[in-house]
Amino acid sequence: MKTLLAAATAVLTVLTVGAPRSGPVDVRPDTYVVSTEPGVLPEGIAVTPAGTMYVTSSATGAVYRGDVRRPGLRPFLAAGVGGRTSAAGVRVDHRGRIFVAGWTTGALFVHAPDGTLLARRDAAPGAALNDLAVTGDAVYVTDSATGTLWRAALDGGRVGELVPWVRAADFPAAPVFLNGIVTDAPGRLALVAEQGEERLFRVDLAARTATEVEVTSGRMGADGLLLAGHRLYGVVNEPDGAGGWRFVVNRADLGPGLRTARVVERSHPVGVDRSPTTLARDADRLLWVDSQLFAATPTPPFTVTEVPGLR
């Protein structure tokens, strides 16, 4: 014990003497507890530039909020408000409004920064609104049930009605399960993942046309997508070689015009007990949601963790 204590004291002395004096080190947790309640099954995540984190519950529709500097989240938007009994993707716009894809409710929910419900916009009956992307003039939402990409116009503080923007028949092949979506910086192009057949589509949002992206060296038919310049990240599930599944984040380099994607790097895998879904960036690291959707027995605590082995 004395040897360990002496060694620890020496290390502390070295770190203290050699450390820069520019201010406190920003040490952030590698695991965040979304909830310790049973049956939450978290799904979507958004992290703002200021470090506020939002996480949805696919099982209840609740939305949790926290700070990336603290390990615990708290309930923010209660389950059931406005009929939101399920929730998947979540995004925050430059006004601080929180957009939530209502999954099996078939509705898009928009909340003010203080949580006030500003709008509920319904798609067609039977829709399953999964993920979304917000541009300067619209929000686009994927519908896993019907293979439709929906759009609601944004005009100042007004949120328009959801209209079918690209229908299933407009894709090169009818989507089995539309999922993740991202848009480029100008808001002219979208990349939309089709998870059922492991495809990635490029959507011209003005022309309302879709073409298939040529993906090589790996999978990009992802659940959650994240676009950073010409780098595309996606949470994908793949066979583990033993009759089960594992989950990884693949990173692809995109070609000119977002027409090609070559997978060049991947994270360390995790198993179905965690079943990660969507991801977000916080500074120089990636975070993903441990949904436990496919776990044999989902067990609290439900968490968000750092993606291992990839930045």
Q: Is residue 130 part of a domain?
A: yes
Q: Average pLDDT for residues 288-296, to the nearest whole number?
A: 97
Q: Quick check: 97 pLDDT over 60?
A: yes
Q: Is residue 292 part of a domain?
A: yes
**DSSP-based three-state secondary structure for 159:** strand
Q: Phi and psi of 248, rounded to 5°?
A: -140, 165
| Spatial separation of the C-alpha atoms in residues 167 and 148, rounded to whole Å | 5
Strand order in the sheet with 285-290: 31-35, 302-306, 285-290, 276-282
Q: Using CA atoms, how far apart are residues 297 and 289, in angstroms rounded to an integer?
A: 17
Residue 7 lies in a domain: no
Q: Where are the beta strands (DSSP E) in 156-244?
A: 158-159, 163-166, 178-183, 189-194, 199-204, 209-212, 214-216, 225-228, 231-239
CATH for 43: 2.130.10.10
Tell me, yes or no, whether 150 lies in a domain.
yes
| Residue span of the structural domain in which 188 resides | 31-306
Query: pLDDT for 255-266, tens place per residue?
Result: 999 999 999 999
* Mean pLDDT on 73-82: 97
Convert the pLDDT of each residue in 237-249 to its tens digit.
Answer: 999 889 899 999 9
Question: Which string of DSSP letters, residue by residue, matches 104-120?
Answer: TT-EEEEE-TTS-EEEE
In a domain, 9, yes or no: no
Confidence of residue 5 (pLDDT cuts 50, 70, 90): very low
DSSP per-residue codes, 249-276? EEEEEE-GGG-EEEEEEE---EETTT-E
Examine residue 8 and state whether it is found in any structural domain, yes or no.
no
- Which amino acid is located at 10 in the chain? A
Q: Give a yes or no: residue 165 inside a domain.
A: yes
pLDDT tier at 156, thresholds 50, 70, 90: confident
* Residue 202, C-beta contacts closer than 8 angstroms, at least 6 positions apart: 189, 190, 191, 210, 211, 212, 213, 257, 258, 259
Q: Is there a domain that residue 19 lies in?
A: no
Count Cβ atoms below 10 Å from residue 177 Cβ, excluding itself.
Answer: 18
Rounded Cα–Cα distance for residues 142 and 54 (Å): 19
Residues 6+ apart with CB under 8 A from 264: 217, 251, 252, 253
What distance separates the 2 farthest-apart alpha carbons in the chain? 72
Q: How far is CA 218 from CA 11, 176, 267, in A?
A: 43, 20, 12
Give the residue-averaged pLDDT of 90-118.
98
So what's the pLDDT on residue 20? 47
- φ, ψ for residue 258 (rounded to 5)? 60, 35
pTM: 0.91
Distance of CA 275 to the CA centre of its chain: 13
Q: Look at the chain and report how many structural domains it folds into.
A: 1
The predicted pLDDT at position 2 comes to 35
Please say if the pLDDT value at position 22 is more than 60.
no
